[in-house]
Structure 1
Amino acid sequence: MDELPIGGLFAALFVLIILSAFFSGSETALMTLNRYRLKHLADEGNKAAILAQRLLQRPERLIGLILLGNNFVNILASSLATVLAIRLGGEGAIPVAAGLLTLVILIFSEVAPKTLAALHPEKLAFPAAWVYTPLLKIAYPMVWLVNLFANSLLRLLKVYPDAANADAVSREELRTIVNEAGALIPQKHRKMLLGILDLEKATVEDIMIPRHEIDGIDLDEDWDELLEDLRQMPYTQALVYRGSIDHVEGFIHARQVMQALMMGELTREAIEGLVQEPYYIPEGTPLNTQLLNFQKAKRRVGLVVDEYGDVLGLVTMSDLLEEIVGEFTSDPTDSISDVQPQKDGSYLVNGSASVRELVKTFGWSLPTNGPKTFNGLIIEQLEQIPEPGTSLLISGYPVEVLQTQGNAVRTARILPEHRRSEN
């Protein structure tokens, strides 16, 4: 060392600091790479992405290689700084040199390159992958030895590196990824993806048409009335029953009825021959399961029944798809016909309105883990059938009962703006 010029020592020290910055920055860049974007680029044939992906398949080897290189250059830099201190100022200058080198390495070889790598990981990680791939082959014996001791120590602590699965993403993590996609995914598409994720949280009771609102064809009606009902049938498929909905015969397709009517072959016997067997759905079936069941059974409509076989409501494929793509209307106030906005900021809500639809459409913070209808929510809160004029608070929202009919609330007024102003 005494024969080397001081300028050469400074040049070597400068190179070592640059190498230390490279090792530190590339480590951060490789470890903060978006694994899903990396896989996408690798699948498209990006060679740098392919190399980076291979390196990250065994992260313990990559980390071992980087730390070997980083520690080697840092220790060598410390030795050169000591030699320079002795030659320039004697042994008394060694502490000064150690302090200055620590500050230089901290700023130029740690903080700055790692910050840059965290902000732009691909710009440093991909070039580094070209360097580390052959370097790993050269230094593999030393890396293997280091990993052997490190992994043995981890196993003593009941940590098994081979069992780690960093690529697994939970449903909630996937939801966060979709929400934070920003402009990368249009808002409409984000809502659709979130709708798919939310299917398992809802059951068929949340979207079904309640029993008392089901329209159908009564085969016991007079022929003229039956024929008129068939002509005015507004649905592609209609429920067919005898006398009441408790005696379901099945479903009939409007197109088949119209064909028979145009050909003059429509008789009561012909109608009965066109009826398909009913398709029943157990209550509590999650929507994601029912979507698959509709597909397997090749059906588009089904009846929701309870444990006793009584009909609770009707679910169609279109109702289920609306949970994913949203309502087929452009005006959010039209998406629920049971809600009428008022000029004072309040809303008139029919008692039969779905609580889940109110939350989904208007963003109201109503409880969705209890009654399915707004009427049920009011009755549960009061624990009795209310009289018109009764006022109450539901989740902080002032609610006034306006009309009742029989044993149910027909219309109520809710003022969601009141809670927003308080918050």
Structure 2
Amino acid sequence: MTLGQSLFLLALLVAAGAFFSIAEIAMAASRRLRLRQLAEQGDGRAERVMRVQEQPGHYFTVIQIGVNALGVLGGIVGEGLLSPYFTPFFALWMSEAAAGTAGFLAAFLLVTSLFILGSDLAPKRVSMAVPEKVAVRIIGPMLFLMTVLKPVVWLYAKLTDLLMALFKLPQQRDETITSDDILALTEAGALSGALERREQQVIENVFELDTRTVPSSMTAREHIAYFLIDDPDEVIRARIAKEPYAAYPVCEKDIDHVIGYVEARDLFQRVLNGRPIHLRDNDLVRKALVLPDRLTLAEVLDQFRLVGQDFAIIVNEYSLVVGLITLNDVMSTVMGGLVHDRDDDMIVRRDENSWLIDGITPIQDVQRVLEIDTLLHEDEYETLAGFLMVMLRRVPRRTDSVTWGGYKFEVMDVDSYRIDQVLVTRFTPPAEGEAAEAGRPPAAPADARQA
């Protein structure tokens, strides 16, 4: 074999090795979601790639046969091609035996380097960059090789299955897509600029509907504007003018005895028609949906859909009214700051390191604004006020404070046991010794510390 033929054969072996390296990484790195999109766009090759991904054993067997066979052939050809040229060169400085060994080692290192660079590193880097595009291009030749080498592939596949079963190793790829996978994709999309940050937040809020309970979005009891069944016309008109809402609960004696609700548009029609408002009219007061306060927002949406309403009274385990929630409240939670920044009403940033926050602010909103990942006993409260109560183990008083995760939460105003405002200040977390001591809830002191 001439030098030119040997070089051509070596280059051919390197190129064949590059093909198998590209095929291996492309199949392993291809995202099923992207392949499905290509298939829906009419690319039949993507369908074949997805079918191979479901049972990839024979595919990777062909790759390993090719890679190992090419490696052996490359070593034989490279050593026979290059050693005769390196040995005379080393013979100028050393004995004939030593020069032969040095020539063999030099030829081995050069051929190995060619295969590492040309058949492994460079092709795999290209394939990792655009795996789906590469996969649909090489699937045809790979399926052909799988057919040609079917007997050998079958033998190795059976032996591999035997080893996998012997060591109880997983044999199928898990294609299950979880909510964490989707959120990770949206986060990557936001970082790359494909998604706006607020759009990504909306997607996160949708997934939070299964974990956020009603109190995080409802109108609390003390803020409910309601009518008594016997309220006269002038009282109803005055309350509507003072507290304009879309709907109002109608109660017997007090707020804990809700008999229904009335919509503002029905009241406006009566006013425009010059008719007096009497809440005992059967066609005015609608039956109210009553829900427990332990439901998640996703469950609330299901209840709204089942009964065809968008208004519900929320009660606790003692059948006392704790709030009300509407479809608009749930949707505002989902939309977040996309159409209206709800945090502006309840979370006010004073400067770079301090915020003034309303006590009834949902704790998830506080965590998002302050970028706090976890809090203690997160399942025991829904609001910032609840967090402070759990940490202090008592009803907070003015100037009480709690430190956690590099922030100090100081109660600024309390109205009849209700925490109105909390000043949150960012600071450098304390040392480990101080953090260990802070884990104990205080008995009487006003400061509960936790690093």
Match of 1:59 in 2: 56
Q: CA deviation at 1:171?
A: 2.0
Match of 1:358 in 2: 366
Q: CA deviation at 1:160?
A: 4.4
Match of 1:175 in 2: 183
Q: CA deviation at 1:323?
A: 1.8
Q: What residue identity is the alignment partner of 2:402?
A: L
- Is residue 135 of structure 2 the alignment partner of residue 138 of structure 1? no
Q: What residue identity is the alignment partner of 1:138?
A: V
Match of 1:155 in 2: 165
- State which of 213, 237, 246 in structure 2 corresponds to 1:236: 246
Q: CA deviation at 1:248?
A: 0.4
- State which of 400, 403, 415 in structure 2 corresponds to 1:394: 403
Q: What residue identity is the alignment partner of 1:392?
A: S
Q: 1:285 to 1:231 in 2, by over 3 A?
A: same
Counterpart contact for 1:233–1:254, Cα < 8 Å: no
Q: 1:292 to 1:97 in 2, by over 3 A?
A: same
Counterpart contact for 1:230–1:257, Cα < 8 Å: no
TM-score, structure 2 length as denominator? 0.80
CA distance in 2, matches of 1:79, 1:101: 10
CA distance in 2, matches of 1:231, 1:407: 29
- Is residue 204 of structure 2 the alignment partner of residue 194 of structure 1? yes
Q: What residue identity is the alignment partner of 1:178?
A: T
- State which of 14, 38, 44 in structure 2 corresponds to 1:41: 38
Q: What residue identity is the alignment partner of 1:75?
A: V
Q: Secondary structure at the match of 2:202?
A: helix
Q: 1:242 to 1:361 in 2, by over 3 A?
A: farther
Counterpart contact for 2:230–2:280, Cα < 8 Å: no
**How many residues are matched?**
414
Counterpart contact for 1:25–1:114, Cα < 8 Å: yes
Q: What residue identity is the alignment partner of 1:52?
A: V
CA distance in 2, matches of 1:82, 1:209: 81
What residue ranges of structure 2 are gaps of 5+ in the alignment? 88-96, 432-450
Q: Secondary structure at the match of 1:201?
A: coil
Q: CA deviation at 1:25?
A: 2.3
- Is residue 20 of structure 2 the alignment partner of residue 23 of structure 1? yes
Counterpart contact for 1:301–1:315, Cα < 8 Å: yes
CA distance in 2, matches of 1:158, 1:328: 49
Counterpart contact for 2:362–2:384, Cα < 8 Å: yes
Comparing 225-234 with 75-84, greater Cα deviation is found at: 225-234
Superposed, 1:326-337 pairs within 5 Å as 326-327=336-337, 330=340, 334-336=344-346
- Is residue 307 of structure 2 the alignment partner of residue 310 of structure 1? no
CA distance in 1, matches of 2:338, 2:280: 35
Match of 2:286 in 1: 276
Q: CA deviation at 1:363?
A: 4.5
Superposed, 1:340-359 pairs within 5 Å as 341-342=349-350, 346-359=354-367
Q: 1:103 to 1:281 in 2, by over 3 A?
A: same
Q: CA deviation at 1:193?
A: 0.9
Superposed, 1:373-388 pairs within 5 Å as 373-388=383-398
Counterpart contact for 2:248–2:261, Cα < 8 Å: yes
Match of 1:126 in 2: 136
Match of 1:13 in 2: 10
CA distance in 2, matches of 1:202, 1:269: 35
Counterpart contact for 1:64–1:146, Cα < 8 Å: yes
Q: 1:229 to 1:73 in 2, by over 3 A?
A: same
Q: CA deviation at 1:128?
A: 1.4
Counterpart contact for 1:257–1:266, Cα < 8 Å: no
Q: 1:142 to 1:346 in 2, by over 3 A?
A: closer
Q: Secondary structure at the match of 2:255?
A: strand
Counterpart contact for 2:226–2:249, Cα < 8 Å: yes
Q: 1:203 to 1:8 in 2, by over 3 A?
A: same
CA distance in 1, matches of 2:367, 2:323: 21
CA distance in 2, matches of 1:392, 1:289: 35
- State which of 114, 127, 131 in structure 1 corresponds to 2:124: 114
- Is residue 48 of structure 2 the alignment partner of residue 32 of structure 1? no
- State which of 291, 294, 304 in structure 1 corresponds to 2:304: 294
CA distance in 2, matches of 1:365, 1:101: 52
CA distance in 2, matches of 1:87, 1:402: 87
Counterpart contact for 1:257–1:271, Cα < 8 Å: no
Counterpart contact for 2:14–2:119, Cα < 8 Å: yes
CA distance in 2, matches of 1:333, 1:54: 48
Q: What residue identity is the alignment partner of 2:174?
A: A
TM-score, structure 1 length as denominator? 0.85
Q: What residue identity is the alignment partner of 1:106?
A: I
Match of 1:103 in 2: 113
Q: What residue identity is the alignment partner of 2:31?
A: N
CA distance in 2, matches of 1:141, 1:218: 85
Q: CA deviation at 1:122?
A: 4.1
- Is residue 245 of structure 2 the alignment partner of residue 249 of structure 1? no
Counterpart contact for 2:356–2:424, Cα < 8 Å: no
Counterpart contact for 1:219–1:226, Cα < 8 Å: no
Note the aligned Cα RMSD (angstroms). 3.2
Q: Secondary structure at the match of 1:303?
A: strand
Q: Secondary structure at the match of 1:273?
A: coil
What residue ranges of structure 1 are gaps of 5+ in the alignment? none
Q: CA deviation at 1:418?
A: 3.8
CA distance in 2, matches of 1:333, 1:68: 60
Q: Secondary structure at the match of 1:215?
A: coil
CA distance in 1, matches of 2:279, 2:216: 36
Give me the identity figure in percent. Answer: 22
CA distance in 1, matches of 2:78, 2:315: 82
Q: CA deviation at 1:370?
A: 3.6
Counterpart contact for 1:51–1:133, Cα < 8 Å: no
Q: CA deviation at 1:47?
A: 3.7
Counterpart contact for 2:313–2:321, Cα < 8 Å: yes
